[in-house]
Homo-oligomer: A and B are copies of this chain.
Amino acid sequence: GSYGTASSQSPKILFRQLFEKESSTYTYLLADVSHPDKPAVLIDPVDKTVDRDLSVVKELGLKLTYAMNTHVHADHVTGSGLIKSKVPEVKSVISKASGAKADVLIEHGDKIYFGDLFLETRATPGHTSGCVTYVTGDGPDQPQPKMAFTGDALLIRGCGRTDFQSGNSEQLYKSVHSQIFSLPKDTYIYPAHDYKGFTVSTVGEEMLYNLRLTKDEDTFKGIMANLNLAYPKMIDVAVPANLVCGYQDLIPKSC
């Protein structure tokens, strides 16, 4: 890849991690730069940084095809609706289980292709009932090590809260252990947020050092029940908007 951070060793992939400071959200740009169209996807775009993201897409000569969300976010408004209003051919993607509107409603096992590369969907509910993790594919040209975009299911040394949006700590524990910790240990973990300035971890590292998910299930449930977190500032604005692709005042035509 002559134009990006090949975080993994596929010559096809362009990869960029982008940060939104106010909500400490990571947006990820992936593209197949070996394909003549350079098709690209954005994972967890934020409304406030859509112009930045679309200008990188344009400068790198990419063709954005999907704006994907890992879940219905409670802390920021997704950029997927705004992206669709600016680039109408982009399709929004979210899980069917999320209850949100989108052009493509995916389920466990579904693949999202961009050029010869693809992301596979793993259902990882618990933070919300519709959370998914997108994992790069198996195959000779796919990124190696794999990359897992875990949303808020697994954060670096932590995890998302489970006290809102049908959150369920028992379910989150099972999701992370069965769907993420079962990946190869060298798989890169790219979360939706980080609050301490970490950018990446690996499955092996989180299996050893995650402050919550390394505990047994009962201890984990106790931790999650006693976080005493404040009511999320943005939740009453963000969740209704994110259920319709981030449109707040508009009635979305397609979403």
Contact = CB atoms under 8 A, between A and B. Distances in A.
Contacts of A198: 16, 18, 52, 56
Copies in the complex: 2
A214 interface: no
Contact of A9 (B6, B185, B196): B6
Contact of A7 (B6, B60, B185): B6
A197 B2 contact: no
A181 to B, nearest CB: 16
Nearest to A156: B56
A199 B6 contact: no
A186 B8 contact: no
B59 A4 contact: no
Contacts of A56: 198
A34 interface: no
Contacts of A204: 2-3
A19 interface: yes
Given A59-B209, A205-B59, A2 B200 contact: no
Contacts of A229: none
A21 to B, nearest CB: 6
Contact of A19 (B6, B19, B52, B205): B19
A69 interface: no
A208 interface: yes
Interface of A: 1-9, 16-21, 49, 52, 56, 59-60, 145, 185-186, 188, 196-200, 202, 204-205, 208-209
Given A16-B198, A19-B199, 6 more contacts: A2-B204, A3-B186, A3-B202, A5-B188, A16-B199, A59-B208
